[in-house]
Chain A
């Protein structure tokens, strides 16, 4: 119940101010403004919408890449090698005469599919497991939580390198592996935020009225947990994109010549390329920076708005 949350926030602010001591007054800098902001819902701000716009542009360009007036990303035009940005090639070409804008736009597909796809998998599996586990509680919950904890103790990049190397680097495999890898963390986050609601009055009341577990989980718990889960998911998407980029840089993601931002950066980062044609590395690096920045920003603003504590993780 959103009303419930708002009330709680207003109550906290009122209490703080009514029972004012200098300690609390010092708090007024952040805590009060936070509590009040929670009640008042300050606007998301222009920066947030700029970030949304950039992500939107990248997504739309990637989806409609085939319809755009672009050369094929792997078409090698030997009469235009290492040209800088020009009217024919807006971002220039690489050492094989491939159009960098085309490669950049097609390459975005990899980052986006892996980023959003894997976290979708993680949210569906890990999120529902977290919800159910927190609702059921008891030994089952403790076991699941302990298991997630052990898996999190394992450095993810190691598993990723080993699995992709032995199993293959097709896009769907990368997405699936990173998705599975994200399950334990999402499980823990969703579980922690569900636990905060399981014993609240409205859930207890629903239980007392004889609502079925499924109804309680989907109608009472899910709507409350969703905002926190979604804002965390944005940070997860950025993390997944970084992981894919890292693998691609190491040559362990989508095989060449399929472009991805990670392998473009790797291609452009050899000593010779950096001297001859910095654009090969520069465009995907800038795009990646802006994409990660935007996604982090969106996640951060959503987190502030829904008042999710960072320490939940």
Chain B
């Protein structure tokens, strides 16, 4: 098998007008003793070559499950997955385990939330980078090592040769995340799934890591799905934003449209919880009261209704479908959408039941 075989299986993305990744009505259910957890419940999205799609939602909204489900990295038992994930013309959901393994790494890679737990604590950094180089690109030991050092250099790690011999615990948090990125990019993937890549890092390092990801993405013409709970993180970096709540897409639009005209009160609430540098320190963030619903037994009607300040009887009775607003690329699911970020009709407030 020649080194390029893995790539030959997929027609070169540049030849295709189609999007690189199309997720259609993806569902991921976990069967637990307590009942079925509908963590991802009918999600569709598309990612074009070289672009970034931000997936935003609170913890518990199913966004992490979504990213793993797209990749096919799910436990095998008690998990049900339906829908299709089409990557460069091939459906990942019907692939064999062996085929999937040839996709993971050279085609699609993942950057994990917490590099402390996502890096093997008892393996040297070097070994963790070279193993995929040797597997997918068939490099020999020396070549892989040189490539790994070059990768560390490209993610901004000083004296890379030395770092290859370090254990993850000997690196700082920011360094670890850079290593994680180097591992993900090692085999030159065409799509990167970054799951909360900067959570747990302090603000300046967050910006550095995100900028690094952005520039590497441009260099390599790589597409990215950036999963985060912080709308601020994707505001300047994503081309399109998908807002998730309780396993469903509640709003989806190109970034400028979304920020200019959010339709869904949940989106608005997420915007209000972005910390702004212009705010005087000590300003209280408008957090959203309550927690996302139990996905075993989600509320009837709109799943956000119990926490929504503008919810009406209709919201609690029937579920709003995803529909277009203004342009075809702006979708939202709400019976009483906002206009320019404000409630459109005089609405009575929801009784707050925390």
Touching in the complex, A and B, CB below 8 A?
Answer: yes
At the interface, yes or no: A46 with Cβ under 8 Å from chain B? no
0/1 per residue, B55-74, Cβ < 8 Å to A?
A: 00001101011001000011
- B34, B73, B78: the one contacting A22 at CB < 8 Å is B73
Measured CA separation A28–B36 after assembly (Å): 11
Among residues of A, the one whose C-beta sits closest to the C-beta of B74 is A22
Q: How many residues of A contact B (CB 8 A)?
A: 16
A19 to chain B: which residues have CB within 8 Å? 59-60
Chain B CB within 10 Å — which of A18, A19, A29, A36 has the most?
A: A18
Known: A25-B79, A29-B77. A20 touches B68 (CB 8 A): no
The answer to whether B75 and A26 touch across the interface, beta carbons within 8 angstroms, is yes
The answer to whether A17 and B37 touch across the interface, beta carbons within 8 angstroms, is yes
Measured CA separation A73–B75 after assembly (Å): 60
A25 to chain B: which residues have CB within 8 Å? 30, 37, 39, 65, 74-75, 79
Measured CA separation A32–B33 after assembly (Å): 8
At the interface, yes or no: B295 with Cβ under 8 Å from chain A? yes
A window 20-50: CB within 8 A of B:
20-22, 25-26, 28-29, 32-33, 36-37
- B33, B60, B73, B78: the one contacting A20 at CB < 8 Å is B60
B37 to chain A: which residues have CB within 8 Å? 17, 20, 25
Shortest distance from the beta carbon of B352 to any chain A beta carbon, whole Å: 20
A243 to chain B: which residues have CB within 8 Å? none
Shortest distance from the beta carbon of B293 to any chain A beta carbon, whole Å: 8
0/1 per residue, A201-220, Cβ < 8 Å to B?
A: 00000000000000000000
Known: A17-B37, A28-B78, A33-B33. A22 touches B65 (CB 8 A): yes
The answer to whether B33 and A22 touch across the interface, beta carbons within 8 angstroms, is no
- A17, A26, A36: the one contacting B294 at CB < 8 Å is A17
Measured CA separation A13–B34 after assembly (Å): 9
The answer to whether B291 and A20 touch across the interface, beta carbons within 8 angstroms, is no
Shortest distance from the beta carbon of B13 to any chain A beta carbon, whole Å: 27
Shortest distance from the beta carbon of A254 to any chain B beta carbon, whole Å: 49
The answer to whether B77 and A18 touch across the interface, beta carbons within 8 angstroms, is no
Known: A32-B32, A36-B33, A36-B34. A20 touches B295 (CB 8 A): yes
Measured CA separation A233–B62 after assembly (Å): 44
Inter-chain residue pair count (beta carbon < 8 A): 54
Q: How many residues of B contact A (CB 8 A)?
A: 23
Shortest distance from the beta carbon of B313 to any chain A beta carbon, whole Å: 26
Measured CA separation A17–B29 after assembly (Å): 12
Measured CA separation A19–B113 after assembly (Å): 15
Among residues of B, the one whose C-beta sits closest to the C-beta of A36 is B33
The answer to whether A22 and B291 touch across the interface, beta carbons within 8 angstroms, is no
Among residues of B, the one whose C-beta sits closest to the C-beta of A39 is B34
0/1 per residue, A106-117, Cβ < 8 Å to B?
A: 000000000000
A window 37-84: CB within 8 A of B:
37
The answer to whether A17 and B296 touch across the interface, beta carbons within 8 angstroms, is yes
Chain B CB within 10 Å — which of A22, A28, A33 has the most?
A: A22
Measured CA separation A32–B68 after assembly (Å): 20
Among residues of A, the one whose C-beta sits closest to the C-beta of B64 is A21
0/1 per residue, B283-304, Cβ < 8 Å to A?
A: 0000000011011100000000
Known: A22-B73, A22-B74, A25-B39. A17 touches B295 (CB 8 A): yes
Among residues of B, the one whose C-beta sits closest to the C-beta of A40 is B33
Chain B CB within 10 Å — which of A17, A29, A37 has the most?
A: A17
Chain A CB within 10 Å — which of B34, B59, B64 has the most?
A: B34
Known: A25-B74, A26-B75, A29-B75. A20 touches B34 (CB 8 A): no
The answer to whether B65 and A21 touch across the interface, beta carbons within 8 angstroms, is yes
- A21, A22, A28: the one contacting B32 at CB < 8 Å is A28
Chain A CB within 10 Å — which of B75, B79, B296 has the most?
A: B75
The answer to whether A18 and B75 touch across the interface, beta carbons within 8 angstroms, is no
Measured CA separation A221–B49 after assembly (Å): 63
0/1 per residue, B227-257, Cβ < 8 Å to A?
A: 0000000000000000000000000000000
A17 to chain B: which residues have CB within 8 Å? 32, 34, 37, 294-296
B294 to chain A: which residues have CB within 8 Å? 14, 17-18
Among residues of A, the one whose C-beta sits closest to the C-beta of B293 is A18
Among residues of A, the one whose C-beta sits closest to the C-beta of B79 is A25
Shortest distance from the beta carbon of B21 to any chain A beta carbon, whole Å: 19
Shortest distance from the beta carbon of A30 to any chain B beta carbon, whole Å: 11
Among residues of B, the one whose C-beta sits closest to the C-beta of A25 is B30
B73 to chain A: which residues have CB within 8 Å? 22
Measured CA separation A13–B39 after assembly (Å): 16
Among residues of A, the one whose C-beta sits closest to the C-beta of B68 is A22
Known: A25-B39, A25-B65. A20 touches B77 (CB 8 A): no
Measured CA separation A21–B114 after assembly (Å): 13
0/1 per residue, B210-228, Cβ < 8 Å to A?
A: 0000000000000000000
- B64, B68, B292: the one contacting A18 at CB < 8 Å is B292
Chain B CB within 10 Å — which of A14, A26, A28, A32 has the most?
A: A28
The answer to whether B75 and A20 touch across the interface, beta carbons within 8 angstroms, is no
Measured CA separation A224–B60 after assembly (Å): 34
Shortest distance from the beta carbon of B65 to any chain A beta carbon, whole Å: 6
Shortest distance from the beta carbon of A84 to any chain B beta carbon, whole Å: 51
B window 2-38: CB within 8 A of A:
30, 32-34, 37
Known: A25-B79, A32-B33, A32-B34. A18 touches B74 (CB 8 A): no
Contact surface of A with B, Cβ cutoff 8 Å = 13-14, 17-22, 25-26, 28-29, 32-33, 36-37
Q: List 22 A-B contacts (CB under 8 A).
A: A13-B34, A14-B294, A17-B34, A17-B37, A17-B296, A18-B294, A20-B39, A20-B62, A21-B65, A22-B65, A22-B68, A25-B30, A25-B39, A25-B65, A25-B75, A28-B32, A28-B75, A28-B78, A29-B77, A32-B32, A32-B34, A36-B32
Q: Apart from A19-B60, A28-B30, A36-B33, list 13 A-B contacts with CB within 8 A.
A: A14-B294, A17-B34, A17-B37, A17-B296, A18-B294, A18-B295, A20-B62, A22-B68, A22-B74, A25-B79, A28-B78, A29-B77, A36-B32
